Amino acid sequence: MHSYWAVLLILVLIGLPLPLAAQTADRSAQDDAQAARIDALLATPGSRNSPLENLIATAPELERPLRTPRFTFNSLSPFAFNSNAELARHGGTSTLELSPTQNLSWATPVFDLPLRLSLNARMETDRFASSRGADLDKAVGTVRLQYINPNDDQGFAPYFVYAPRADFLPTFEDRLAIRHDLNVGFNQRFNFDEHMQRITPTRNTSASAVWSLGLTMFGQRRFRTPAPASSAFFIIPSASYVISEEWNASLAVQMLGRWFDADAMGFSRRDFEVEPIGTLEYTVPAWVFGSPETAAFFGSPALDLQGSFVRNISNLAARNYTQWTGSLVIKTAWRF
């Protein structure tokens, strides 16, 4: 029954047969950078109750066997500075950005097989204080089937992902675009103790890891209405460091190449993007709330400082741009 409701929620969020708005420019083609920043926030080693679906290989429990199904709800409240809200080649607007994100996920083992099924439904709202035309609402669904080594949470973990997404004008007034991503790839992580000695693989080495190194690689086919569709290849190395019980730091670098289908004039756009993302997190200790149970009731809150830089290189001159972001994020999460 739980899986039925999770699937139903994803179908509702992608906006089944709503009328499309008028044909618009591809406002979501460069959204890969923002998706990586969100996943980097959910992948910090101090994260409690993270969804078991992430671009970052060092995300907590991403490759750990799951014994029973579980629901998680994650809330992010970023207050950010964005140097180029419109992703313009020259003269982009520097502005305050508010991008609250809510994520509901459900994960379960698949019978007695070494597989895990994860379903996610995410709502994103982008609002810019000084930019016109950059505001956007998004509804995102994710279905992920991943191999899990039952005896090694540092094992090679191939996966398949189907991710529909719908983009809307502010307040979900009109739908601008809908897309369907098909991803095939793998995660691989390596956990180390405080002396940088490799931890012997077991079912749960992440809990005792101080340092972690990870690699994600996947290929993607994106179908989009309005066109164009595109194909992409991602390489995302990552690292995390547990400084103390309250403090941790992580770094990920997303590198991707994207090839768009030819338009009516026969032009095929080609993009290459690189984005380093650094995150420093303070996890509010449970004693502040009086007890671990009270802290969990309030979502085990954490404060994150995150900075990123995007460089996009394209054979379409207007899509060559750079963008800096810096944000303070309030993060909460609940497990059911």
* Domain regions of the chain by residue span: 2-16+24-335
User: What Cα–Cα distance (Å) separates residue 127 from each residue in 38, 86, 214?
Assistant: 15, 12, 32
Question: What are the phi and psi torsion angles at 200 (to 5°)?
Answer: -60, 130
Burial 196-224, CB ≥16 within 10 A → b, else e = eeebeeeeebbeebbbbbbebebebebeb
Candidates 308, 327, 309, 323; CA nearest to 93 is 323
Task: Decide if domain 2-16+24-335 falls under CATH 2.40.160.40.
Answer: yes
Which strand (E) or helix (H) includes residue 37? Answer: helix 32-42
End-to-end Cα separation, the chain, in angstroms = 15
Tens digit of each residue's pLDDT, the chain (336 residues): 444 444 444 444 444 444 443 333 455 446 899 999 999 999 999 887 889 999 999 999 999 888 899 999 999 999 999 999 989 998 889 999 999 999 999 999 999 999 999 999 999 999 999 987 789 999 999 999 999 999 899 989 999 999 999 999 998 888 999 999 999 999 999 999 999 999 998 888 888 899 999 999 999 999 999 989 999 999 999 999 999 999 999 999 999 999 999 988 889 999 999 999 999 999 999 999 999 999 999 999 999 999 999 999 999 998 999 999 999 999 999 998
User: What Cα–Cα distance (Å) separates residue 49 from each residue in 35, 148, 155, 221, 306?
Assistant: 19, 18, 21, 30, 20
**How many Å apart are CA 242 and CA 250, to the nearest integer?**
9
**How many Å apart are CA 315 and CA 10, to the nearest integer?**
35
Number of other CB atoms surrounding residue 88 within 10 Å = 15
**How many Å apart are CA 80 and CA 58, to the nearest integer?**
24
Quote the pLDDT of residue 31. 85
| Interstrand relation of 247-260 and 321-335 (parallel, antiparallel or unpaired) | unpaired
Quote the pLDDT of residue 24. 39
Tell me the pTM.
0.91
Contact status, residue 271 vs residue 8, Cβ threshold 8 Å: no
The burial of 265, by beta-carbon neighbours within 10 Å (0-12 exposed, 13-18 middle, 19 or more buried), is given as exposed
Number of other CB atoms surrounding residue 113 within 10 Å = 10
Quick one: how far is CA 289 from the chain centroid?
29
Quote the pLDDT of residue 5. 45
